[in-house]
Structure 1
Amino acid sequence: MPIDPSDHDPSAPRPGGPPATTPGARPPPIERTRFGGSQRRGRADDDDAPVSRSDLSKGPQELLEHRASRVNWQVLVTSALVILAFSVWAIVIPDEARVAMKAAVDWIALNLGWYYVLTVTLVIGFVLWVALSKEGNVRLGPDHSRPQYGLTTWVAMLFAAGVGIDMLFYSVTGPVVQYLYPPSGDGATAAAMQDAVVWTMFHYGVAGWAMYALLGMAMGYFAYRWGMPLSIRAALYPLLGKRVRGPLGDGISIIALVGTVFGVATSMGIGVVLLSVGFSLIFGLPAGLGLQIALVVGAVVLTIAATTSGVDRGIRWIAELNLWSAVAMMVYILVTGQTAFLLNALVENIGRFMMTMPARTLQTFAYEPNGAEWMGGWTLFFWAFWLAWGPFVGVFLARISRGRTLREFVIAAITAPVLCDFIIVSLFGNSALFQVLQGNTSFAELAVASPEQGWYALLAMFPGAMFLIGLATLSGLLFYLTSANSGAMVMSNFSASIPDPSQDGPKWLRVFWAVLTAVLTVAMLLAGGVTTMEYATLIFALPVTVIAYLVMASFHKVLRMERAEREGQVLHRRSIAPIGGHVPERSWKQRLEQMRSYPTLEQADRFLDRAVRPALDDVSAEFRNQGYDVEQSSMTNEHGIAEPVLRVSMESFRAFHYQVAVVEAPVPMFSGRMSRETDVYYRLEVFTQTGSGGYDLMGLTKQQVIDDVLERYEAHLAFLTVSTERDTASVLTPSILPADELSAVPRDAGDVQDLGDEGK
């Protein structure tokens, strides 16, 4: 049920109060109000970051200059020029471009390797903290929202969106290289064998999906729970306030967009290098740069066709087909290959990964002579790859995860797709290592020197080689198309202002980004192929690390607000006895009647007229008599019923919101009713700004409804008390009130508690 999170205009005059703050004027001092507490009118500066949930609820209005979708030309033009300039540079003078990027990567690996490692470690720790904390129950949407997609479809889309064809590329060459040339110790030893596959599993494991989970849950939270756009800048609103709408926000979007384009282009480039070998084997085409460019052009055409069909059609269909083709390929390799060895190795690899993951996560090889070189070519490249892909995959994951809890989102993201990655890497990697252990040195040399040739050389060793090569090429093509489709859609979203999180950028913009990404891919192929792509990814992912830190700080701030609200409700329940304003229990006759009553839509509407609306009218009248700023309105639902809304404005604090909504529910089969005329019935649930309270007003008396309004109002005041006390001042999150004023915040509903029989 949509809830209007907007607050009253702080610049509007309040009846019975002094004039509100005008733009540019000095903010008025703290003053005593009719609530018996202290409040401050608005923020000292309209550009300040939100310091309360009331400020946060204004985000949808402050982030959007226009309510309709529109292209952000500053972001679009600037990002496109950066990418085009790099592409022209790489095409015109490829040798100089390659040398310059190599020098930049060497400097980063030597001087900033620790920074990449520390950043990824903190991201993993943060998302685990969110999932395991009490705030893990918060949903990506209102409290009553539920997932849009079934579990199987959702996991398939998680897997397909975040896994690229590059994993197939490195699944053979990675283990072979780590066995022959490990980062420490001697190569071709038993110790190197134990770690060979585990290093590749580590690079495709929790680290990348933790980055996706961080950005995905942050963007999804603000979009679906607070009604803000699905974007990085919205996730930073609690830190930066309205500044995210201007040049600062544009700069953030440009960094995220450029990083995304380079990440997707790198995956596409690695993909066409690999697929060109498969097409050459299947169709007898000459392998080389010409075939690779032709595949890029063909993939752009397919990407445009699929992308313009939207998430629920083209991209969803490709994601599910991608998953099943990968499953078929893995089953074939397992059944026709060294089954016992592969299963034993898989179990051992997963166990060793779990035991050594903490040490590997913080490993920098500071004591190894060539540690920086190895880190730059492997771990740092993959960390940069995941950072570059983070905004793109994060938006896509948020787009398909509305209604999931934060805990469900994080746990699923770092387990289900990661386990799929492990299976693919382990089966391919150990199949390759088995050949090396049998003395197949020519294959080992080929896998190291030409990974794409080595991957297909391994497939050719299985029975029914051409069938497996065709299946693997199809699976690789679907991996490629899924990443390209998702990337084009997300790039269009980053370069546009879209108020509705369920909508995507215009089709022409998706086509534009698909074409521009293809141009960049070709440029990097001309400048040196996969190696140049790795260099570019490592360089352009560096600014994205700043976004990761800002998002963690921003999301931590709003989770403190969620905790304050929850603990405020707990405080309220503990104070029920002295306050005496609890919701009266239903009489035994009311309870029995409710057990067998399943109202129709017409009956729910009549009850609104008979009990709920008169109760809210009486409460509103008494609030106004006592000087409160009250607004009564209604919201028409999809059935044409006007749902009553009561709103008490509280100036710089979050307003009290009480809405009675008609909610459809299934009739239980085990009910006490003797027969059923319908499969559904209708409840009258109470909604606050964060969703449904989870209870039904049907069957209550007018007085009981009045008591419920006061109960919810007391809970709101208790929330304000706790949230104010917990809002600790810091550089990023200044306190709402000065320390000497915190004790004056209202703790009960004393002024309205005695409404009692007057509302009958």
Structure 2
Amino acid sequence: MFWISISIGVIFVLWGVIFPENLINVMTNLQGTLLDKFGWFYQFSATFFFVIAIFFAFSKYGKIKLGKEHDKPEYSTATWFAMLFSAGMGIGLLFYGVSEPVSHYATPPFGEGNTIESAKVGLRYTFLHWGFHAWAIYAVVALALAYYKFRKDLPGLMSATLYPVIGNRIQGPIGYIVDIIAVFATIFGVAISLGIGAQQINSGLNYLLDIPISFNVQLIIMGIATVLFISSAASGLSKGIKYLSNANMILAVVLFFSFLFLGPAQFALELFLTTFGSYVQKLPSMGLRFSPFHEENNQWVKDWTIFYWAWWISWTPFVGTFIARVSKGRTVREFIVAVIIVPTLVCALWFGVFGGTGLYFDVVQGVDVAGQSLETALFYVYDQMPLSGLLSVISLFLIITFFVTSADSATFVLGMQTSNGSLNPPFFVKFSWGIILAAIAAILMGTGGISGLQAATIITALPLGVILLVMTYGMVLSFQKEVRDSKKIS
């Protein structure tokens, strides 16, 4: 698995180095075809995973333990939550915290932009993209990986989750194809985080030190970060990722409350409460929304909602494997509730405060926040607040540590996926994947920017989405057998 996957990775890197224009043309054309023909599939899949996750949690299967009956959780609840967030969405929260709600305010999914109503709609759709659906996708995959690894003693591989459906063929060509798809979905999904992280670090350095915003600077940032996350990966999960995850949480909490109390707290919290309520109320229709009679609105769904579902699906081998790795000993119900509900509330509160503050300055104060680029909007809002320099420094450090932990966790998971599910993959394997991951992120950023990374993600998410649906069917079969066997014993 390792040598086959790494060879494909090297070939992809060489393709991007030798024929960069051909690479990006092929990927963007394929992306357009997939969105036109299969956009419905991504939308359906996200809603399906949310529904099935709730079913697992509150059905008779909720008592099943992810491990043997005597297994206890390896990490405290607080550390467990910290590791979930660091692996899950860290960089994205900072990159999109202000910029996405403000962008939707200016260009909403429907209706007229730059209005009070579009501000509410924009924040509500931000909750959709980062809320229950997103974490449900992670939860279902992580649940399957943890169940088969710790309770059934199968390898911690995506192919192993198909055992109830295809049996021992998981060890043959079908299993290899599944795992290779998972590897490259992981690489492309994480590459987006590295790309937007490098962009926002560059933007922060420009704000603080007047360093120019350019791809060359971002390439240097990615090079330095690569050295840092490979060094962290070398120290192992319990040391490197655990310590950085806890540091991330401390910095994130400090930044959040600083931002809240230095900004228009009352406005932001009122906006959060009213929009989160309407988000929950309109969740079913928002989660399945298309605009087949309105091309512009339909394109908005493809550019934003469908992209997010593809991004989260492509991240599932990475985040799912990582969450599974740190969740041994939890019950299905405890696991689902923790992984879906708690992170959704925290993400919504984050966007409510950061996005709400951005909307306050734009809508109420008349400051042109919506006119800024996605990577600069956060620092532009800091300019309107007290202690802007301090907030910028904290944000910059937080982006860097999230950058390192995301890539660190990704190399660990890629190592697991190509070492027969080993919980402690060799350093050489993690090092090799760290180099390939950084190279692919740099090539896609250099040839197509963020849109190039998005194209790669949407392409790999389609076959992976099909695999996840088969995996879910197999998990239902396994849970049914588990309940039947427990009744026989009792």
TM-score exceeds 0.5: yes
- Corresponding residue number in structure 2 for 1:451: 374
Q: Is the 8 A contact 2:265 2:353 kept in 1?
A: no
Shift of 1:418: 1.6
Q: Is the 8 A contact 2:102 2:119 kept in 1?
A: no
Q: Given residue 332 of structure 1, which amino acid in structure 2 is its aligned partner?
A: S
- Is the counterpart of residue 97 in structure 1 residue 23 in structure 2? yes
Shift of 1:439: 5.5
Give CA-to-partner distance per residue, 1:146-172, whole Å, 9 cap, x none: 211111111111111111312321222
Q: Is the 8 A contact 2:66 2:146 kept in 1?
A: yes
Q: Given residue 473 of structure 1, which amino acid in structure 2 is its aligned partner?
A: L
Q: How does 1:377-392 map to 2 (within 5 A)?
A: 377-392=303-318
**What secondary structure is seen at the aligned counterpart in 2 of 1:415?**
helix
Give CA-to-partner distance per residue, 1:293-318, whole Å, 9 cap, x none: 11111111111111111111110001
- Corresponding residue number in structure 2 for 1:429: 355
Distance 1:523 1:557 in 2: 42
**What secondary structure is seen at the aligned counterpart in 1 of 2:211?**
coil
Q: Is the 8 A contact 1:392 1:491 kept in 2?
A: yes
Q: Is the 8 A contact 1:109 1:373 kept in 2?
A: no
Q: Given residue 416 of structure 2, which amino acid in structure 1 is its aligned partner?
A: N
Q: Given residue 544 of structure 1, which amino acid in structure 2 is its aligned partner?
A: L
- Is the counterpart of residue 114 in structure 1 residue 40 in structure 2? yes
Shift of 1:405: 0.1
- Corresponding residue number in structure 2 for 1:566: 486
Q: Given residue 524 of structure 1, which amino acid in structure 2 is its aligned partner?
A: L
Distance 2:368 2:276 in 1: 29
- Is the counterpart of residue 132 in structure 1 residue 50 in structure 2? no
- Corresponding residue number in structure 1 for 2:401: 478
What is the TM-score with the length of structure 1 in the denominator? Answer: 0.63
Shift of 1:464: 0.9
- The partner residue of 2:253 within 306, 327, 331 is 327
Q: How does 1:267-666 map to 2 (within 5 A)?
A: 267-438=193-364, 440=366, 442-446=368-372, 450-498=373-421, 503-569=423-489
Aligned residues: 490
What is the TM-score with the length of structure 2 in the denominator? Answer: 0.96
Give CA-to-partner distance per residue, 1:598-636, whole Å, 9 cap, x none: xxxxxxxxxxxxxxxxxxxxxxxxxxxxxxxxxxxxxxx
- Corresponding residue number in structure 2 for 1:183: 109
**What secondary structure is seen at the aligned counterpart in 1 of 2:98?**
helix
Q: Given residue 460 of structure 1, which amino acid in structure 2 is its aligned partner?
A: D
Q: Given residue 407 of structure 1, which amino acid in structure 2 is its aligned partner?
A: R
Shift of 1:460: 2.0
- Is the counterpart of residue 85 in structure 1 residue 11 in structure 2? yes
Unaligned runs of 5+ in 1: 1-74, 570-714, 716-760
Unaligned runs of 5+ in 2: none
Distance 1:84 1:349 in 2: 46
**What secondary structure is seen at the aligned counterpart in 2 of 1:385?**
helix
Shift of 1:80: 2.6
**What secondary structure is seen at the aligned counterpart in 2 of 1:462?**
coil
Give CA-to-partner distance per residue, 1:632-657, whole Å, 9 cap, x none: xxxxxxxxxxxxxxxxxxxxxxxxxx
Q: Given residue 172 of structure 2, which amino acid in structure 1 is its aligned partner?
A: G
Shift of 1:441: 5.5
Give CA-to-partner distance per residue, 1:60-103, whole Å, 9 cap, x none: xxxxxxxxxxxxxxx22332333333333334444443333332
Q: Is the 8 A contact 2:53 2:140 kept in 1?
A: yes
Distance 1:531 1:546 in 2: 24
Distance 2:311 2:188 in 1: 9
Distance 1:488 1:334 in 2: 34
Q: Is the 8 A contact 1:220 1:399 kept in 2?
A: yes
Q: Is the 8 A contact 1:94 1:528 kept in 2?
A: no
Shift of 1:125: 1.1
- Corresponding residue number in structure 2 for 1:231: 157
Shift of 1:116: 0.7
- Corresponding residue number in structure 2 for 1:595: none
Give CA-to-partner distance per residue, 1:679-737, whole Å, 9 cap, x none: xxxxxxxxxxxxxxxxxxxxxxxxxxxxxxxxxxxx5xxxxxxxxxxxxxxxxxxxxxx
Shift of 1:451: 1.0
Distance 1:247 1:98 in 2: 29
- Is the counterpart of residue 261 in structure 1 residue 187 in structure 2? yes
Structure number with the higher helix fraction is 2
**What secondary structure is seen at the aligned counterpart in 2 of 1:421?**
helix
- Corresponding residue number in structure 2 for 1:216: 142
Q: Is the 8 A contact 1:231 1:494 kept in 2?
A: yes
Q: Given residue 464 of structure 1, which amino acid in structure 2 is its aligned partner?
A: L
**What secondary structure is seen at the aligned counterpart in 2 of 1:183?**
coil
Q: Is the 8 A contact 2:189 2:311 kept in 1?
A: yes
Q: Is the 8 A contact 1:91 1:527 kept in 2?
A: no
**What secondary structure is seen at the aligned counterpart in 2 of 1:236?**
helix
Distance 1:489 1:78 in 2: 18
Give CA-to-partner distance per residue, 1:33-69, whole Å, 9 cap, x none: xxxxxxxxxxxxxxxxxxxxxxxxxxxxxxxxxxxxx
Distance 1:93 1:453, change over 3 A: farther
Q: Is the 8 A contact 2:102 2:370 kept in 1?
A: yes
Shift of 1:244: 0.6
Distance 1:524 1:77 in 2: 23
Q: CA RMSD in A?
A: 1.6
**What secondary structure is seen at the aligned counterpart in 2 of 1:367?**
coil
Distance 2:181 2:461 in 1: 9
Structure number with the higher strand fraction is 1
Distance 1:477 1:82 in 2: 29
Distance 1:525 1:395 in 2: 26
Distance 2:274 2:23 in 1: 43
Q: Is the 8 A contact 2:102 2:369 kept in 1?
A: no
Distance 1:413 1:419, change over 3 A: same
Q: How does 1:735-746 map to 2 (within 5 A)?
A: none
Shift of 1:436: 1.3
Distance 2:365 2:76 in 1: 47
Q: How does 1:187-202 map to 2 (within 5 A)?
A: 187-202=113-128
Distance 1:552 1:113 in 2: 21
Q: Is the 8 A contact 1:307 1:314 kept in 2?
A: yes
Q: Is the 8 A contact 2:156 2:420 kept in 1?
A: no
Shift of 1:508: 0.9
Shift of 1:369: 2.1
Distance 1:365 1:85 in 2: 39
Distance 2:210 2:119 in 1: 36
Q: Given residue 397 of structure 2, which amino acid in structure 1 is its aligned partner?
A: L
Q: Given residue 457 of structure 2, which amino acid in structure 1 is its aligned partner?
A: T
Give CA-to-partner distance per residue, 1:111-155, whole Å, 9 cap, x none: 211111111111111111111111110101112222111111111
| Greater relative contact order structure (CA < 8 Å, 6+ sep) | 2
